[in-house]
Amino acid sequence: MLARLFLLACLLCSAAPSAQGREAREICGLIARGAAAHGLPAPYLARLIWTESRFDARALSPKGAQGVAQFMPGTAALRGLRDPWDPAQAIPAAAAYLAELRARFGDLGRAAAAYNAGEARVSDWLAGRRGLPAETRAYVVKITDRPADWFRPGGREVEPAPLEPHLGFLDACERLPVMRTRAASATSQPWGAQLAGAVSRDAALAAFRRLQQRYPALQGESPMLVRNNLRRNATAYWAVRVGRDSRAAAQSLCRRVKAQGGYCIVHRS
């Protein structure tokens, strides 16, 4: 099923420019070499990196995670990663970290959960002290095609399916689209036209891509993701906005989206 989802992502994207094609080839080569060096299945590492950043070397999360492997600055420093924006450094570092996480927690599913939610959160989950965030549960399914709870008893492992059944790894990996996810941060653009939201970052980005296909007013725009909590201690909610420097500019975009049949509301970021 997961292989079909990744194939669908490729089919939904128009042909990438040659620069993006070269970027995908470089990233996929780094993934293949990093996986081999650290004993990881290459499709597993590719799914994780693509889920983290959509192969965007300039990806910046609202929390501050940087680059194609989405290292937080503190984690990068602890692991001796000098430049998380450089895929040639970040991907091998991610592979090494995942290998360590698998050695510590016992399998690829728990390793993916720890990469997303942190080692302390996974330790607490295994000890029954806390649950996993909904975002992490969705993340583990995307990477392994198994729910997180499948890995909880321990002693279980998966052999990740190929990215595409009838293609070699590099050919299939290079067909994954490089999607530019980095936009100006909420603090750099004080107003936003809010268009949609979801309980996970990936779902919020997917919703924005669908809206772009539906409403001409959004063509060429970049998403600004704002993380909120619906209630105290509740699961995070990701709002999707298009940033503007003024309230009037955000209102103008909202009027155009609404005129085309969409939902839009202006928020101060």
Residues with catalytic roles: 52
CATH superfamily assigned to domain 191-268: Sporulation related repeat (3.30.70.1070)
Return per-residue pLDDT of the chain as tens, 269 residues.
Answer: 444 445 444 443 443 344 567 889 999 999 999 999 999 999 999 999 999 998 988 887 767 889 999 999 999 999 999 999 999 999 999 999 999 999 999 999 999 999 999 999 999 999 999 999 998 999 999 999 999 999 999 888 988 899 999 999 999 999 987 876 554 444 457 889 999 988 887 788 889 989 998 999 998 888 888 877 655 445 667 888 998 989 999 999 999 999 999 999 998 87
Residue 265, classed as helix, strand or coil, is strand
pLDDT at 60: 79
Residue written as tokens 């040659």?
Answer: 18
What CATH class has 2-174?
A: mainly alpha
Structure tokens at 151: 């890995």
- Residue 18's identity, in one-letter code, is S
Separation of alpha carbons 129 and 88, rounded Å: 38
Contact 254, 264 (CB under 8 A): yes
Separation of alpha carbons 184 and 100, rounded Å: 33
Q: How far is CA 53 from CA 56, 59, 177, 180, 218, in A?
A: 5, 6, 11, 8, 21
> What is the domain partition of the chain in residue ranges?
2-174, 191-268
Structure tokens at 89: 């450094």
Residue 84, classed as helix, strand or coil, is coil
Record the pTM.
Answer: 0.66
Name the maximum alpha-carbon separation found in the chain.
Answer: 57
HSE on the CB side for 43, CA within 13 Å?
A: 20
Contact 182, 59 (CB under 8 A): yes
- C-alpha closest to that of 227 among 216, 208, 244, 240: 240
